[in-house]
Chains A and B, each alone.
Chain A
Amino acid sequence: MKTVIVVGNGMVGYKFCEKFIASSSNNGYKLLVFGEEPRPAYDRVHLSEYFENQNAKALELAPASWYSDNGIELITGQRVTDIKKENKEIHTATGHSYTYDYLVLATGSVPFVPPISGVEKEGVFVYRTIEDLEDMLAYASQIKAIKPNGRAAILGGGLLGLEAGKAVLDMGLEPHVVEFAPKLMPRQLDTRSSNVLQLKLESMGIQIHLSKVTNQILGDRVIEGMEFGEDDRLDVDMLIISAGIRPRDELGKTCGLDMGTRGGIVVNNKMQTSAKDIFAIGEVALYNQMIYGLVAPGYEMADVAVNQILGNQEVTMPEDIDMSTKLKLMGVDVASFGTPYMPADKGLSIIFENKTKFLYKRINVSHDGKTLLGGILVGDAADYNILHQMYLNGMALPDNAEELIVGARGEEGSAFGSAMDLPDTAQICSCESVSKGNICSSLLNGESDSLKDIISCTKAATGCGGCKPMVVELVNETLKSMGKEVKDVICEHFEYTRQELYGIIKVKGITSYDEALDKCGQGDGCEVCKPALASIFATIYNDTANKEDVIQDSNDRFLANIQRNGSYSVVPRIPGGEITPEKLIVIGEVAKEFNLYTKITGGQRIDLFGAELNDLPAIWKKLIAAGFESGHAYGKSLRTVKSCVGSTWCRYGMDESVSFAIALEERYKGIRSPHKLKGGVSGCIRECAEARGKDFGVIAVEGGWNLYVCGNGGATPKHAQLLAEQIDNETVIKYLDRFLMYYIRTAAPLMRTAAWLEKLEGGIEQLKKVVIEDSLNIAEELETDMQGLVDKYECEWKQAVENEEIGKRFKHFVNTDDKDDNLVFVPMREQKMPQPWTN
């Protein structure tokens, strides 16, 4: 049995372990890992997220049990102090010693603290570990307690420094970034892009101080400020140093390994140090006289070391290491790749800058205009992945290379083809070295079948995650090319489309969810099939959501809309948007009594926000007593029929739009459908009710109404299309009954009318045949079914407040009458809002 000892349990040390146990030739080896920090390896790249959620576990790369499960001995909290090369032995601070056959040094780096007088003062921190962050958080909260407008400076305007700036912003202190160089991110950006980034950061409240040499830290015992030169000082309450890194190479130094003149343990392309059984990887290793502070080269080094130790000698470190990076700094995209800036004799640049939108894009192309040499993106790095691939693979540039950054003129879409155009060797995920070929062949040879499979078997997109969109595209396109259609079944529990299921349930007379599972499904169901079945039952039997509450979508279960903090909003029905002053007063009184935030909705009614679950029945009792009914704002059902004021008041009105809107809303209220339904009635073609933006819209014209169907607002707005012209009220209702029922029966779950029409073969012409000419000979049945639903309408809130059993559902705790004490509201413009967690 040979022993491999890994010193250091950071990201690279962890990657070494992962690659080691994944190797097929690791039999006969034992892995022993030393970590100095009290917890197993975590994701330092996303360290600033710790400020958002304070969740150290979320950053963990693998739980402690992962090590024991894989036969790795992990010793945390113990520092290795000495290496005895000749005995192949290491010693720890606690006086233990261990012998090794191979030793891997992955000790990483420490923050570089410049020798400025006063850096030892209280309130000066470095930014590196979770413990550093915890100390900073504790200190910041002390400051804020005594000084709400406290300031914190960050020394260093590089990548990590700006990350730290975000942390300061999250802590609620005023951030000041102090940089020695005349620009931000001096290693990645040119001056112009740095200016754009600076403007953007300043607009977010981060103050930037460039070309500042800090002479000393001011203050007696505690930091009070920084002095740059005579009469040039900045008062701060806290300082975070982020001025670069220094390799943690003491172990190498003391045991006599070859070292770089400015630190770092010298390694060859096998990651071997000057002692052949000692390897160094990550930020402690000096390769090609460089320390690589990025995670991707560190991972590659880990891979090389694993292969070398396990006897696979061909795997070595490449000569050129790609230093391209893309990151989001405080929500701002910043990316640079290849040679980001360069002398003019090497190539030419195409630059796009728009300071009003904080955008900067630069690509460098060869003199012949054929190859991409590198570039910089600030503000929008959406095209980084593909540009980076073009650079890595030496792909030919299009004739108008400027289209790569400003977009093709005169047409939508980008100048690039799809990710499928890349060569198989293109590295899609650089953190995990996954090529396009790896992804596509895994799908083609049947090893994987979905995005989930690809991620678990190739590990693509599990590092920084930047490549995820490309991975998704490759998976989808490859599956499509294999002729694999995603089957339209509801979910894993029912192997049917919604329409098929509708037929089965109707024919077999199934009346409960469990019965459906027993007769045509499997398993315990899920959040997709339960509401779908509930909707089908509602269409066939018109039961309200109270009958089987546990299969209702969560909003239907509590007959209210859940809002950001877990409180609910209440929307009484106001048909056609018409309401009496008396009823308005009741709404106001209820809102006052239960301290609710009130807002007029887009559907001409009033929404009351911030109701606690326990209060819902009491609120509705009052509303119902005043003659209100449920507005079904929570349901996949008719919301409102919006109206303009119409011919009763309007001097242009052609017909009584309000009266007709009320009639339609009263008719279709409460009916469950695959998705929400909205209607509109306008009294003339000026269309003030925006009826053509609704699932059904009626517009008064000379000689009757025009009926439009299948429109919607939302993310993909669609104008409704004309179904019939100049028809009277009865005909509108007849056609609407048929249209709505046909849609309700045949659409997929959560498919709105516009998407349904798009999928309907023959489109609007076919719909006209079915609805107007009755080509399928089902019109009578559709009308009867709809009339049945209309006749069986009951207000489900009335049921709920009248039935004690149903009322029990509206309790936050079942074992006490306590309310949820986590619900906290803060004032806003004379009303209230949920207390935000962050920002």
Chain B
Amino acid sequence: MDQLNTNNMETLFHQYAPVALDKVTVWFKACHEQDIPENGGACIKYKDKQIAVYHFKRKQKWYACQNLCPHKMEMVLSRGMIGDSEGIAKVACPMHKKTFSLETGENLNGDLPSIATFPIKVENGFVYIGFSE
């Protein structure tokens, strides 16, 4: 493994920490509501962060989390299928079908580290994601 990688991976990992609603200082206007497919997801960029955004049309809910899957460290979660496990909204990574709760970020079918989730709101047709920096 060369040094470049070590650095990349380290910075990548530490880049994503969950943001609690009361810690939000910036509501980033990410995209139009219709940029995110209904009952699916897409990725948006905020500074150098990649954030996956999902629209659960059936229950009128929106979720945002890191696009990085902690399993193999690939930027792919936004391309995963969404759904629920016993009522908990989740996403399945397209790589190896690791599933994560979109509510807590917890890995539901293994013991991978949790993913970071972010507050999200939709106002006047725009999607806003909450960051603390």
Q: Report A's interface with B, CB cutoff 8 A.
A: 53-55, 57-58, 137, 141, 144-145, 170-172, 492-493, 513-514, 517, 523-527, 529-531, 549-551, 553-555, 557-558, 562, 564-566, 809, 811-816, 818, 820, 822-824, 835-839
B65 contacts partner chain A, Cβ-Cβ < 8 Å? no
Q: Is the CB of A822 within 8 A of B12?
A: yes
**With A and B bound together, what is the CA distance between A813 and B75 in angstroms?**
11
Q: Is the CB of A562 within 8 A of B94?
A: yes
Known: A527-B97, A814-B44, A836-B1. A558 touches B38 (CB 8 A): no
**With A and B bound together, what is the CA distance between A492 and B56 in angstroms?**
18
Closest 3 CB pairs of A and B: A554-B94, A550-B40, A526-B83
Q: Is the CB of B45 within 8 A of A818?
A: yes
Inter-chain contacts of A557 with B (CB < 8 A): 79
Q: Is the CB of A53 within 8 A of B13?
A: yes
Inter-chain contacts of B85 with A (CB < 8 A): 492, 526
Q: Is the CB of B5 within 8 A of A838?
A: yes
Known: A550-B40, A562-B95, A566-B74. A526 touches B13 (CB 8 A): no
**B43-86 interface mask toward A, CB cutoff 8 Å, 1 = contact, 0 = none?**
11100001001001011000000000010111110011111111
Q: Is the CB of B6 within 8 A of A564?
A: no
**With A and B bound together, what is the CA distance between A531 and B86 in angstroms?**
19
Inter-chain contacts of A814 with B (CB < 8 A): 31, 35-36, 42-44, 53
B122 contacts partner chain A, Cβ-Cβ < 8 Å? no
Inter-chain contacts of A492 with B (CB < 8 A): 85-86
Known: A137-B6, A170-B1, A527-B97. A816 touches B45 (CB 8 A): yes
The smallest beta-carbon distance between A462 and chain B, in angstroms, is: 9
Which parts of B96-133 form the interface with A (CB within 8 Å)? 97, 99, 112-114
Closest to B38 in A: A550
Inter-chain contacts of A145 with B (CB < 8 A): 3
Inter-chain contacts of A525 with B (CB < 8 A): 83-84
**With A and B bound together, what is the CA distance between A525 and B81 in angstroms?**
9
Q: Is the CB of B74 within 8 A of A57?
A: no
Q: Is the CB of A549 within 8 A of B81?
A: no
Q: B81 contacts which of A54, A554, A811, A812 (Cβ < 8 Å)?
A: A554
Q: Is the CB of A527 within 8 A of B99?
A: yes
B9 contacts partner chain A, Cβ-Cβ < 8 Å? yes
Q: Is the CB of B2 within 8 A of A172?
A: yes
Known: A172-B3, A813-B43. A524 touches B81 (CB 8 A): no
Inter-chain contacts of B43 with A (CB < 8 A): 812-814
Inter-chain contacts of A141 with B (CB < 8 A): 3, 6-7
Interface of B is mostly: mixed
Residue among B12, B42, B114 facing the most chain A CB atoms (10 A cut-off): B42
**With A and B bound together, what is the CA distance between A89 and B38 in angstroms?**
62
Known: A54-B9, A527-B97, A566-B76. A172 touches B37 (CB 8 A): no
The smallest beta-carbon distance between B109 and chain A, in angstroms, is: 9
**With A and B bound together, what is the CA distance between A55 and B50 in angstroms?**
19
Known: A526-B92, A812-B43. A554 touches B79 (CB 8 A): yes
Closest to A517 in B: B58
Q: Is the CB of A815 within 8 A of B44?
A: yes
Known: A566-B75, A814-B42, A837-B73. A530 touches B1 (CB 8 A): no
The smallest beta-carbon distance between A636 and chain B, in angstroms, is: 14
B19 contacts partner chain A, Cβ-Cβ < 8 Å? no
Known: A527-B83, A527-B97, A551-B81. A562 touches B76 (CB 8 A): yes
Closest to A834 in B: B74
Q: Is the CB of B44 within 8 A of A54?
A: no
Q: Is the CB of A550 within 8 A of B94?
A: no
The smallest beta-carbon distance between B64 and chain A, in angstroms, is: 13
Q: A815 contacts which of B1, B30, B59, B112 (Cβ < 8 Å)?
A: B30
Known: A818-B45, A820-B75. A53 touches B81 (CB 8 A): no
Q: Report B's interface with A, CB cutoff 8 A.
A: 1-10, 12-13, 30-31, 35-40, 42-45, 50, 53, 56, 58-59, 70, 72-76, 79-87, 89-90, 92, 94-95, 97, 99, 112-114
Q: Is the CB of A524 within 8 A of B86?
A: no
Q: A54 contacts which of B13, B58, B94 (Cβ < 8 Å)?
A: B13
Inter-chain contacts of B94 with A (CB < 8 A): 554-555, 562
Q: Is the CB of A815 within 8 A of B35?
A: yes
Q: Is the CB of B1 within 8 A of A53?
A: no
**Interchain residue pairs with CB less than 8 A apart (13):** A141-B7, A172-B2, A172-B3, A526-B92, A527-B99, A549-B37, A555-B94, A566-B76, A815-B30, A820-B75, A822-B8, A838-B5, A839-B1
Q: B75 contacts which of A58, A137, A553, A822 (Cβ < 8 Å)?
A: A822
Q: Is the CB of B35 within 8 A of A838?
A: no
15 further A-B contacts with Cβ under 8 Å, apart from A527-B83, A814-B53, are A57-B113, A57-B114, A58-B113, A172-B3, A523-B83, A524-B56, A526-B83, A551-B39, A557-B79, A562-B94, A814-B42, A815-B35, A820-B50, A822-B12, A822-B50
**With A and B bound together, what is the CA distance between A170 and B2 in angstroms?**
9
Q: A550 contacts which of B6, B35, B39 (Cβ < 8 Å)?
A: B39
**With A and B bound together, what is the CA distance between A781 and B95 in angstroms?**
38
Q: Is the CB of A172 within 8 A of B1?
A: yes
Residue among B42, B58, B72, B74 facing the most chain A CB atoms (10 A cut-off): B74
Q: Is the CB of A530 within 8 A of B81?
A: yes
Closest to A514 in B: B58
The smallest beta-carbon distance between B116 and chain A, in angstroms, is: 11
Q: Is the CB of B80 within 8 A of A554?
A: yes
The smallest beta-carbon distance between A201 and chain B, in angstroms, is: 19
The smallest beta-carbon distance between B50 and chain A, in angstroms, is: 7
Residue among A549, A554, A815, A837 facing the most chain B CB atoms (10 A cut-off): A815
Closest to A58 in B: B113
Residue among A170, A565, A812 facing the most chain B CB atoms (10 A cut-off): A812
Inter-chain contacts of A54 with B (CB < 8 A): 6, 9-10, 13
**With A and B bound together, what is the CA distance between A554 and B99 in angstroms?**
14
Inter-chain contacts of B89 with A (CB < 8 A): 524
Q: Is the CB of A813 within 8 A of B45?
A: yes
Inter-chain contacts of B5 with A (CB < 8 A): 835-838
**With A and B bound together, what is the CA distance between A137 and B9 in angstroms?**
13
Q: Is the CB of B9 within 8 A of A837?
A: yes
**With A and B bound together, what is the CA distance between A514 and B39 in angstroms?**
10
Closest to B31 in A: A815
**With A and B bound together, what is the CA distance between A564 and B76 in angstroms?**
11
Known: A141-B3, A837-B9. A493 touches B74 (CB 8 A): no
The smallest beta-carbon distance between B54 and chain A, in angstroms, is: 10
Inter-chain contacts of B50 with A (CB < 8 A): 813, 820, 822
Q: B9 contacts which of A53, A527, A566, A816 (Cβ < 8 Å)?
A: A53
Q: Is the CB of A565 within 8 A of B97?
A: no
Residue among A53, A566, A837 facing the most chain B CB atoms (10 A cut-off): A566
**With A and B bound together, what is the CA distance between A460 and B72 in angstroms?**
26
**With A and B bound together, what is the CA distance between A154 and B21 in angstroms?**
47
Inter-chain contacts of A531 with B (CB < 8 A): 81
The smallest beta-carbon distance between A354 and chain B, in angstroms, is: 31
Q: Is the CB of A523 within 8 A of B35?
A: no
The smallest beta-carbon distance between A438 and chain B, in angstroms, is: 21
The smallest beta-carbon distance between A600 and chain B, in angstroms, is: 25
Known: A137-B6, A837-B73. A527 touches B86 (CB 8 A): no
Inter-chain contacts of B81 with A (CB < 8 A): 526-527, 530-531, 550-551, 553-554
**With A and B bound together, what is the CA distance between A832 and B47 in angstroms?**
29
Closest to B32 in A: A814
Inter-chain contacts of B36 with A (CB < 8 A): 814
The smallest beta-carbon distance between B65 and chain A, in angstroms, is: 15
Inter-chain contacts of B2 with A (CB < 8 A): 172
The smallest beta-carbon distance between A828 and chain B, in angstroms, is: 14
Inter-chain contacts of A812 with B (CB < 8 A): 43
Inter-chain contacts of B7 with A (CB < 8 A): 141
Inter-chain contacts of A524 with B (CB < 8 A): 39, 56, 58-59, 82-84, 89
**With A and B bound together, what is the CA distance between A55 and B107 in angstroms?**
15
Closest to A554 in B: B94
The smallest beta-carbon distance between B7 and chain A, in angstroms, is: 8
Inter-chain contacts of B80 with A (CB < 8 A): 527, 554
Closest to B92 in A: A527
